[in-house]
Structure 1
Amino acid sequence: MPATTPSPPLPARTAWAMLLALICGFALSQAFRTITAIIAPGLQAEFGLSPQALGVFAGAFAFAFGCMQLFMGVGIDLFGVRRTLLTAFPLTVAGALLSAWAPQWGLVLLGQVLIGVGCAPAFLVCTVFIARYFAPQRFALVSGVAMGLGGLGMLFTGTPLAWLVEHSSWRTGFTVLAGLGVLAWLLIFWRVHEPTRAAHTHAHESLAQAVRGFGALFLLPHTWGIMLLALVTYAAFLALRGLWLGPLLIARHGLSLVESGNVALVFSLVSLFGPALFGRLDPGPARRRRWIITGTLTMAALFLAMALLHSVWVDVGGAIALGLLSGYMVLQYADVRTAYPAAMTGRAMAVFTMAMFLGVALVQWATGLVASLASAQGADPYVAVLLAITALLCAGALAFRLLPAPENGKNSL
């Protein structure tokens, strides 16, 4: 697991320089996970994809990303942040190039899997680095800044990618991202050098011991509420931004690809500020879980409004509001940070991230299926998708509220 025992201190400027280099890899991960919303029309035109197949495509990245979290966590513990990321990230470049040149749909899907595996440590290394080299009381704030800066990757999959695809093809988008991936790898190779971790007081675990350590998390009753909510919150955000936003605006309101890209760009821009804002406003353990539930239910209300009102202003305004509100999810990371003892924090972060991205894969696949079934019945597929996401968010909030809370959070609800 990614250990969070005390590490040799780093000067503040050095720590921030290394973190910013790591965030470049995270930003590329954000770009890859949101590319479908813009390239979906091109994929459908070239391969004749159904909405369900489109959901499988979008979910392939997240499924591979989520499944690899446990192994990336072990890799970070055994080999460190730098070596783990530098070893995995070339698969991202390989997957992007395969997607760009693949003549068959199956190879494009394989490219998504490779990209997901290569990006798997991208955000985990940032959270572990912050936990090791920044003061505990700054975790929510610094994590919020990291999430916000990482969101810059989504800017590329707004207007710039839409323009590129409209004037060239979806394959060019993958080629450009592959080139940016090479640059990010070189920057991390140059800038990130962890000090010798002399402060480790425990021996490295074997893989079997690490897996048993991860399993021990699920013996703690409060883990289930945390993980069930993790399955749906980021998944709801990414299902809209990374899959359905472009097709919805084009099909429901007749926007062009570039116009829908403009909306995605604004959505991404406001989402950059949300994590830092909520990180600064973090109310602390006593009230944090109440804020998390309120944020989740507010997201559900916005999705419900978009499902029922059929207004371009509601759809565009609701999407932008969701972009800003999504920053509250940084409080979920802070909740995990305080819900477990220090020896378990690293593996808890890895399992939490795994739950988030398996949730992304599940929700993107499920909403694709819902859209296909609705279309087959002559119903509006986008209403069905948005209502399904609303229901999932409400179910996640209910599980988080009713299942046992950690000892330090029992008074927060």
Structure 2
Amino acid sequence: MTRATPAPAPSAPPAPLPPRVALMMLVALTSGFALSSAFRTVAAILAAPLQAELHLSPQALGVFAGTFHFAFGAMQLFMGIGIDLYGVRRTVLTAFPLCIAGALLSAAAPGYGTLVLGQALIGVGCAPAFLVCTVFIARHFAPQRFASLSGLSMALGTLGMLFTGTPLAWLVQQWSWRTGFVVLALMALAAWLWIWRGVHEPAPGPAHGMPRESVREAVARFAALFALPHTWGIVALGAVSYAALISLRGLWLGPMLIERHGFSLVDSGNVALALSVVALCGPMVFGRINPGAATRRGWIVVCTLLMALLFVAMALVHSAWVDVACMLATGLLSGYIVLQYADVRAAYPAQLTGRAMAVFTMAMFLGVAAMQWFTGLVASLAKGRGMDPFVAVMGCIAALLALGALAFRLLPRPPQDV
């Protein structure tokens, strides 16, 4: 009789990171997200010089701004799988150099086509930037700290938008929009080096002696998320909530203030800087007042509708101070997006955290790309008919926010919320 081969012993789980070490690693990862925030909002300041030099229509400008977000969103599936199979560190270090290459290509772009290609490379390189932060928090911190730490991470990431306010406007005015891309490439390189030096999470591996999941199995499990009824309400609202903020801050803020109210480029940069500072506080505020699972979804719906009303006011009230006040209020209110991340974290089992966050992030950034392209088209059509393009754009964003809130409210909820 042959002796049976003993089963392999279950692999021991990796030792947890000390809280202080984990927090420092999170800050390093957030530096990549800060650069991602800067790249996704450059169009608000670069719109006027790009239109002047390359003779871009509003629709072409929308395509330029949306290309980053389309590439960013389309890659979330692969980034989620990469994070689950290979870890946070390896995924972000592999992708982020494309961001640096895209920024340098944009700086040297001889024409519109090369500029758009550079934006696509930047979007792919930045694709894991915030996803790695949320997954790292979910893996290495207690669940009750998820909302507050996500809010802190979003706030620190918003620091990247500060550069694309007054500092970028000054650089462009003193030199050119190409200088802005060169400086951003150098900042992205510094962030990559910080992550390479500072982030060393426990390596992911098969748990309890089970074989490592294959890429094919990972893709199948990713697709299975869309078979869950409650995914669609989450995706519908995710596609418009962040898109509204970024379409305003990252595309229409500068043109609206310059063309409607006669602001200079630096003046509009100052407003963009102020909006970014306010937006930095929003996630921390909503992270602190996290209402909990029982009422969180109600808060999300109300905040979305309030944001829609702010865009209605910007569409209908032709006043510089009203427009600026509504822009700043939108920046603060946008912090409620951290509640959406907390809702996603609670709606799926722990083993699907990476992919669930990737689905939501994919919806957010494909939504940004679609909204920027669509509002560019709306602006071009309105301008061709002699209408104020900003009335059409702001009204369109308000309507999309209201539709997203309605879908989130009426479509099936996660089982634990029923």
Task: Tell me the TM-score normalized by structure 2.
Answer: 0.95
Aligned to 1:3: none
Deviations 1:149-168 (A, max 9, x none): 00000000000000110111
User: Do the aligned residues in 2 keep the contact of 1:7 with 1:200 (CA within 8 Å)?
Assistant: no
Gaps of 5+ in 1: 1-5
The yes-or-no answer on 1:131 pairing with 2:138 is yes
The yes-or-no answer on 1:338 pairing with 2:346 is yes
What amino acid is the match of 2:326? G
Distance 2:391 2:240 in 1: 18
Aligned to 2:55: 48
Select 1:378's aligned residue among 379, 386, 390. 386
Task: State the secondary structure of the residue aligned to 1:89.
Answer: helix
Distance 2:41 2:233 in 1: 27
Distance 2:236 2:197 in 1: 39
Aligned to 1:178: 185
1:183-332 matched pairs, under 5 angstroms = 183-197=190-204, 200-201=207-208, 202-332=210-340
Distance 2:14 2:135 in 1: 11
Distance 2:76 2:128 in 1: 7
Distance 1:126 1:200 in 2: 22
User: Do the aligned residues in 2 keep the contact of 1:8 with 1:198 (CA within 8 Å)?
Assistant: no
Distance 1:200 1:165 in 2: 52
Distance 2:84 2:235 in 1: 22
Distance 2:224 2:206 in 1: 24
Aligned to 1:350: 358
Aligned to 2:16: 9
Distance 1:37 1:71 in 2: 29
User: Do the aligned residues in 1 keep the contact of 2:69 with 2:365 (CA within 8 Å)?
Assistant: yes
Deviations 1:378-413 (A, max 9, x none): 100000000000000000000001111112223xxx
Deviations 1:18-72 (A, max 9, x none): 0110000000000000000000011101111000000000000000000000111
Distance 1:203 1:136 in 2: 27
User: Do the aligned residues in 2 keep the contact of 1:24 with 1:184 (CA within 8 Å)?
Assistant: yes
User: Do the aligned residues in 2 keep the contact of 1:7 with 1:132 (CA within 8 Å)?
Assistant: no
Distance 2:21 2:69 in 1: 32
Distance 1:325 1:196 in 2: 37
Distance 2:15 2:401 in 1: 41
Task: Tell me the TM-score normalized by structure 1.
Answer: 0.97
Structure ID, larger Rg: 2
Label 1:198 to 1:351 Cα distance change in 2 as closer, same or farther (>3 A).
Answer: closer
What is the Cα deviation at residue 7 of structure 1?
5.3
Gaps of 5+ in 2: 1-12
What is the Cα deviation at residue 104 of structure 1?
1.5
What is the Cα deviation at residue 8 of structure 1?
3.0
What is the Cα deviation at residue 198 of structure 1?
5.9
User: Do the aligned residues in 2 keep the contact of 1:7 with 1:133 (CA within 8 Å)?
Assistant: no
User: Do the aligned residues in 1 keep the contact of 2:104 with 2:181 (CA within 8 Å)?
Assistant: yes
Instruction: Calculate the aligned-residue CA RMSD, in Å.
Output: 1.2
1:110-129 matched pairs, under 5 angstroms = 110-129=117-136
What is the Cα deviation at residue 207 of structure 1?
2.3
Distance 2:15 2:47 in 1: 46
User: Do the aligned residues in 2 keep the contact of 1:241 with 1:264 (CA within 8 Å)?
Assistant: yes
Distance 2:26 2:282 in 1: 19
Distance 1:388 1:7 in 2: 49
User: Do the aligned residues in 1 keep the contact of 2:84 with 2:204 (CA within 8 Å)?
Assistant: no
User: Do the aligned residues in 1 keep the contact of 2:282 with 2:331 (CA within 8 Å)?
Assistant: yes
Distance 2:128 2:233 in 1: 24
What amino acid is the match of 1:316? V
What amino acid is the match of 2:295? R
What is the Cα deviation at residue 199 of structure 1?
7.4
Distance 2:15 2:278 in 1: 36
What is the Cα deviation at residue 197 of structure 1?
4.0
Aligned to 2:10: none
User: Do the aligned residues in 1 keep the contact of 2:237 with 2:408 (CA within 8 Å)?
Assistant: yes
Distance 1:308 1:200 in 2: 57
Aligned to 1:369: 377
Distance 2:87 2:340 in 1: 25
Label 1:129 to 1:123 Cα distance change in 2 as closer, same or farther (>3 A).
Answer: same
What is the Cα deviation at residue 133 of structure 1?
0.5
Deviations 1:73-132 (A, max 9, x none): 111122211111111101001000000011121001000000000000000110111011
Task: State the secondary structure of the residue aligned to 1:124.
Answer: helix
Distance 2:360 2:206 in 1: 26
User: Do the aligned residues in 1 keep the contact of 2:164 with 2:273 (CA within 8 Å)?
Assistant: yes
Return 188-197 or 302-311, whichever deviates more. Answer: 188-197
